[in-house]
Structure 1
Amino acid sequence: MDQEERTRRAAQARSKAEELAGKGVTGVAVTWVDTSGITRVKAVPLARLPHAAAWGIGASPVFDAFLLDDSIVQGRFAGGPVGDLRLHPDLDRLAPLTALPGWAWAPADRFDQGGRPHPLDARHLLRREVRRLAADGFTVRAAFEVEWAASVGEGDDFTPACAGPAYGMTRLTERADYLRDIMEAVTAAGVTVVQIHPEYAAGQYEISVDVDTPVGAADTAVLVRETIRAVSLNHGLRSSFSPKVLAGGVGNGGHVHVSLWRDDVNLMSGGQGPYGLTSEGEAFTAGVLSHLPALLAVGAPSVASYLRLVPSHWAGAFACWGLENREAALRFVTGAAGERHHAANLEVKCFDQAANPYLALAALLATAHDGLTTGATLPPPVDADPATLDGPAPLPSSLEEALPPFTADPVLARAFGEAVIDTIATVRRGEIALFAGATPEEIAARIRWRH
């Protein structure tokens, strides 16, 4: 980052600060997501925003080696007390947090002291994968679904905030003010809400937002979750985004929707392949499918993830794909007749919200790009619950099982580099050790309020 760029950022920040001051904002929360999927923050007074934009906010690189309980593991490339980074807020995503009066938010890009991108910065990794696809003429549109469970009271036990039936109008009626405030707060932050509804598990809801660029989609996932968390507290509730809130219940997914485009044409539709896929759309999907076991260490990165990722629970526990098959890890969505040219997309169902959304999308795009490069093709789709069939292979059933395919995957190794692969593996092994011997009930209770 040269002096000209620093000057440009400072000027942009002064303009933004004047606008935010008129809205009563006095502080800016600058966030990044660590390897364990926890959103961390440094905040500055609004008057300090121009300096932060130009020169960054100091933060230790040790957060790359944090576990979800805030203990620290030591890897070859992360975990020690030495070093410093600079957090530069992305002013293009700067938004007021209407659920937290006086506050605004911006995602951070992490740089070293010399102004170079931090090699372990997940936002930078995702941008790099976007650029690789763009060099071949492709763009990707993406969105995360956000599921959460709302609990009454301040204790660490979970008490569902609503009592109505799954997907029932009763649940909306019980918490109508709460859901309205979430919609309004998310919208005020500049995000388009597509839908909001009660989900299957006790106290569980889901919100869907409009598609964006991959980096924009990951930013939005962070912003939406933190907005929900704030609105929940304002209503005397606690919100959990954990993969497994209760050991015997249905967990929270973090489904990712992606579609491949070229020259504003959706390549997931209008082709001669299965269900209208173009050859490029098929190769994109096949690339993800062939790397699913390795992708789990990024997209289902917690010990608790595998309490959720079980057959016949609509979690996507099998390495297969199918048209509107909610038991397949990859659900192909065509959309309604008449809007398929816009709506057709791939839903990755096996991911959850313990994932760092930037890392998750970077890994997805890297494997999808490999499919495009090799001209990969899809196996036959699965049109039933794969648990009832002989063919589809189950995905890893534990974090221990997911690590070997991840560390051995050459595509992810090339995309991420040695430092990122080693750090992710070190953090995953740390979490495995942290929960060694714990029962599902103990795992769910200890992780419940961490995400």
Structure 2
Amino acid sequence: MTKAASAAAKDLAAAGVSGVHLAWADNNGIPRSRIVPIGGLADAAARGVGVTSLFAVFDSHDVITYDQPVLPTPSGDVRLVPVVERLRRLSGQRALAWAPGRQLAADGSPWPYCQRAVLERQVEAAARRGLTLLAGYELEFAVAPAGSADVESAPGHGGPAYSPHALVPLDDFIAALLHDLDANGLRIGQVHAEYGLAQVELTLAATDPVSAADDQLLARQTIHAAAHAHGLRVSFAPLVAPRAAGNGWHLHTSIWRGGDNLLSGTGERPGPEGAAYLAGLLRELPAVAAVTAPSVPSGLRLRPGYFAGAYAFWGVENREAPLRYVPGSELLGPGHANVELKPSDASANPYLALAVVLAAGTAGIEQGLTPPEPIAQDPGTWTARERSARGIERLPASPAEQDAALRGSAVVPEVLGADLLAAFRAVRASDAAWAAGKEAAEIVHAHLWRY
């Protein structure tokens, strides 16, 4: 790996690159990084770069919480090691390159708080069962002029939703973004003006889970840089205004055995193993959502009628369903079949999000679970009695409800491991303490530019 890093550094230096972002995401979904000079890349690949172990207990507001038993002091250091095979020159930041990082203990051994390693373990466990996952993100974000205090008072576009006219004022930004995404090795399906306030959406092509998480982080870096270069700033926050439609980072997954997509089936139903995968996700959905949409504004976003997936059920192409089954078709082919997770946003660590989704779904396959009947309506319009008769409950939206769901799951705590689970819960508790007594508008504003 050191030899490959040396060769890459030589090529990058010749192209004018001065430094490399070594990037990871913390337990709040916030990207963090260290920049090493290009001449230091090979050494970083061999020995890593020192970072404090306390990043595991940073909350969403950069407060370090010691209110947990596993990292109770400021003492300690870990090594951040670049994943050289994922190294990219940043098209929109020509003097810089980017690589995701692994977090190792100071002696080079595995560190239990490394989120990337958690996902890698789940991918390996699935592979031992003959299963592979494909995953792709839809990224929603709001656009505002650079220097804006918020999006609501200075929206970057005024709609109409889905209209080509909406993006005309953003032509230069969109053109640069399409160029930079491609140059950075990111394949996208589409980009368009979305439904929400000054909202834009782009879709990342499906790939293996670890690459999908890496791609999500690289896409953020690419979007931020393109926006800055064109006098704009973007917000990936779950909500950009209390009453606006939120930014979901919908996660599409399909589960495969060999060359067969298990989610393909007949008509609008997946085959037996695909149905079991979906049933596993549904069973663990409260705890999964506590990881995939974990922040206080995530809970504020989780409202009926906003296509956010507020109630625990699944449906076929139902955009109110937190688990939206998208069947294959004669036009698209059986490989297109997938499940979209709607309670997912930028405040989730993408590696942990994919790890718990993969574990929950494969547990359903291992246990031969069967999902209930799909629902085509919006349960938010039903009476409480009607929902109770169908066994449909709200997903946890408050920090206390999310914590209870985490602790009550038989799958998710095992995926995270005792140490990381304790750190994750401590961070969520610190966020909850910060938000206690605050109005929704203040909570939303404090998270606007964090991701």
TM-score past 0.5 threshold: yes
Q: Does 1:55 align with 2:47?
A: yes
Question: Aligned partners of 2:260 and 2:190: how far apart in 1?
Answer: 25
Q: In the alignment, which residue of structure 2 is the partner of 1:328?
A: 321
Question: Aligned partners of 1:80 and 1:341: how far apart in 2?
Answer: 52
1:147 pairs with one of 126, 137, 140: 140
Question: Aligned partners of 1:31 and 1:412: how far apart in 2?
Answer: 25
Q: In the alignment, which residue of structure 1 is the partner of 2:421?
A: 421
2:185 pairs with one of 167, 190, 193: 190
Q: In the alignment, which residue of structure 2 is the partner of 1:409?
A: 409
Q: In the alignment, which residue of structure 1 is the partner of 2:255?
A: 260
Q: Is the 8 A contact 1:160 1:203 kept in 2?
A: yes
Q: In the alignment, which residue of structure 1 is the partner of 2:437?
A: 437
Question: Aligned partners of 2:329 and 2:273: how far apart in 1?
Answer: 21
Indicate the larger mover: 71-80 or 375-384: 71-80
Give, in angstroms, the shift of residue 155 of structure 1.
3.4
Q: In the alignment, which residue of structure 2 is the partner of 1:6?
A: none
Question: Aligned partners of 1:206 and 1:393: how far apart in 2?
Answer: 29
1:236 pairs with one of 231, 240, 245: 231
Q: Does 1:38 align with 2:30?
A: yes
3-state SS, counterpart of residue 314 of structure 2: strand
Matched letter for residue 149 of structure 1: A
Q: Does 1:203 align with 2:198?
A: yes
Give, in angstroms, the shift of residue 79 of structure 1.
5.1
Q: Does 1:219 align with 2:211?
A: no
2:164 pairs with one of 161, 169, 172: 169
Q: In the alignment, which residue of structure 2 is the partner of 1:307?
A: 300
The aligned runs of 1:365-380 (5 Å cut-off) are: 365-380=358-373
2:69 pairs with one of 70, 76, 83: 76
Q: In the alignment, which residue of structure 2 is the partner of 1:342?
A: 335
Q: In the alignment, which residue of structure 1 is the partner of 2:120?
A: 127
What root-mean-square deviation, in Å, do the aligned CA atoms of Structure 1 and Structure 2 show? 1.2
Q: In the alignment, which residue of structure 1 is the partner of 2:448?
A: 448
Indicate the larger mover: 224-233 or 404-413: 404-413
Q: In the alignment, which residue of structure 2 is the partner of 1:24?
A: 16
Q: What do the CA deviations read for 1:205-262 (whole angstroms, capped 9, x no partner)?
A: 0110111100000000000011101111111111100001111111100110000011
3-state SS, counterpart of residue 161 of structure 1: coil
Structure 2: runs of 5 or more not aligned: none
Question: Aligned partners of 1:194 and 1:78: how far apart in 2?
Answer: 42
2:111 pairs with one of 118, 127, 132: 118
Q: In the alignment, which residue of structure 2 is the partner of 1:291?
A: 284
Matched letter for residue 165 of structure 1: P
Q: Is the 8 A contact 1:147 1:207 kept in 2?
A: yes
Matched letter for residue 72 of structure 1: I
Give, in angstroms, the shift of residue 441 of structure 1.
0.6
Q: What do the CA deviations read for 1:241-292 (whole angstroms, capped 9, x no partner)?
A: 00011111111001100000111211111x35x7241211111111011011
Q: Is the 8 A contact 2:238 2:248 kept in 1?
A: yes
3-state SS, counterpart of residue 442 of structure 1: helix
Structure 1: runs of 5 or more not aligned: 1-8
Matched letter for residue 315 of structure 1: A
Question: Aligned partners of 1:399 and 1:241: how far apart in 2?
Answer: 20
Question: Aligned partners of 1:247 and 1:263: how far apart in 2?
Answer: 45
Question: Aligned partners of 2:71 and 2:184: how far apart in 1?
Answer: 34
Q: Does 1:103 align with 2:88?
A: no
Matched letter for residue 346 of structure 1: V
Q: Does 1:277 align with 2:273?
A: no
Q: Is the 8 A contact 2:150 2:240 kept in 1?
A: no
Q: TM-score, normalised by structure 2?
A: 0.96
Question: Aligned partners of 1:164 and 1:311: how far apart in 2?
Answer: 23
Change (3 A) 1:79 1:29: farther
Matched letter for residue 46 of structure 1: I
Q: Is the 8 A contact 1:147 1:204 kept in 2?
A: yes
3-state SS, counterpart of residue 167 of structure 2: helix
Question: Aligned partners of 1:350 and 1:78: how far apart in 2?
Answer: 29
Q: Is the 8 A contact 2:159 2:193 kept in 1?
A: no
Question: Aligned partners of 2:289 and 2:403: how far apart in 1?
Answer: 8
Matched letter for residue 288 of structure 1: L
Q: What do the CA deviations read for 1:407-445 (whole angstroms, capped 9, x no partner)?
A: 221212222211111111111111000110111111111
Q: Is the 8 A contact 2:290 2:396 kept in 1?
A: no
Q: What do the CA deviations read for 1:102-124 (whole angstroms, capped 9, x no partner)?
A: 10000000111221121011100
Q: Is the 8 A contact 1:334 1:345 kept in 2?
A: yes
Matched letter for residue 266 of structure 1: N
Question: Aligned partners of 1:174 and 1:440: how far apart in 2?
Answer: 30
Give, in angstroms, the shift of residue 18 of structure 1.
2.2
Question: Aligned partners of 2:52 and 2:369: how far apart in 1?
Answer: 41
Q: Is the 8 A contact 1:142 1:211 kept in 2?
A: yes
Q: Is the 8 A contact 1:172 1:198 kept in 2?
A: yes
Q: In the alignment, which residue of structure 1 is the partner of 2:396?
A: 396
Matched letter for residue 25 of structure 1: V
Give, in angstroms, the shift of residue 341 of structure 1.
1.7
Aligned-pair identity in percent equals: 39
Q: Is the 8 A contact 1:334 1:340 kept in 2?
A: no
Matched letter for residue 293 of structure 2: A
Report how many residues are paired.
441
Question: Aligned partners of 2:257 and 2:15: how far apart in 1?
Answer: 39
Question: Aligned partners of 1:226 and 1:115: how far apart in 2?
Answer: 28
3-state SS, counterpart of residue 268 of structure 1: coil
Matched letter for residue 398 of structure 1: S
Q: Is the 8 A contact 1:407 1:421 kept in 2?
A: no
Question: Aligned partners of 1:276 and 1:121: how far apart in 2?
Answer: 37
Q: Is the 8 A contact 2:22 2:34 kept in 1?
A: yes
Q: In the alignment, which residue of structure 2 is the partner of 1:3?
A: none
3-state SS, counterpart of residue 319 of structure 1: coil
Q: Is the 8 A contact 2:254 2:338 kept in 1?
A: yes
Q: Does 1:64 align with 2:56?
A: yes
